[in-house]
Amino acid sequence: MTLTENARAPQQDRSRETRDLILETTLRALARIGWNATTTSVVAADSGVSRGAIQHHFPTKEALMRGVLEYMYEGRNTSEFSISAEVPEGVDRFEYISEQVLDYYASDHFKAALQMWTAAIGDAEFSEQLQMHGDKLARAVYDRVVVVLNADTSDSRTHRLIQTTLDLSRGLGLADVLRDDSKRRQSVAQFWADELRSIKQLNEPQ
């Protein structure tokens, strides 16, 4: 590597760090104050990055929001979801997966996505991108649940229960946009864990 390339590498790293900071701050702002109120001025104030630097990376709000979309769904995929196939020792895996899925759909990641869905009405291209990425993430979440629970999804009831877990979690996530619904979510998580115990698992005795 030449001296010029050596000097360029740290600059590229700093540029990437700045870009990620802008995107992360925008995501949090979307979840907190919504699409219309999330301006470059707000992102600059929250992130400490100048408006000029933000516009260098993202010349328009549309470019910024498309960047957030890629950051949420392509770069991070399920890292925000953060469910490991290895359930922590001493933790019931049915309670674990129920709580984790419910918590994901009450996260800033999901709330920011809701804001994007609303803003995408009338924008066919943006809607299509959101649908594609949303389907990809939903599939990843579904697959993670299957792995953690060792579920036999060839059984139709088991498949429906896992799919209902995602649908239920989305609905409670919508309720959390209006108010802190964490107490009810904890109660539902415990109840739903008991429902999931009835699934058919791979290699279970016939």
Tell me the domain boundaries of the chain. Answer: 1-75, 79-206
> Torsions phi, psi of 88, nearest 5?
-55, 140
Please say whether the beta carbons of 165 and 198 come within 8 A.
no
Number of CB atoms found within 10 A of residue 5's CB = 8
Q: Which residues of the chain have pLDDT under 50?
A: 3, 5, 7, 77-80
Please say whether the beta carbons of 72 and 140 come within 8 A.
no
CA separation for the pair 19, 44 (Å, rounded): 12
Q: What is the pLDDT of residue 159?
A: 97
Domain 1-75 top-level CATH class? mainly alpha
Q: What is the pLDDT of residue 7?
A: 46
Number of CB atoms found within 10 A of residue 158's CB = 20
Q: What is the pLDDT of residue 9?
A: 52
Number of CB atoms found within 10 A of residue 160's CB = 13
Eight-state DSSP code of residue 86: S
- Percentages (nearest 5) of helix, strand, coil residues in the chain: 70, 0, 25
CA separation for the pair 64, 115 (Å, rounded): 14
CA separation for the pair 1, 77 (Å, rounded): 32
The three-state secondary structure class of 188 is: helix
User: Which pTM does this prediction carry?
Assistant: 0.79
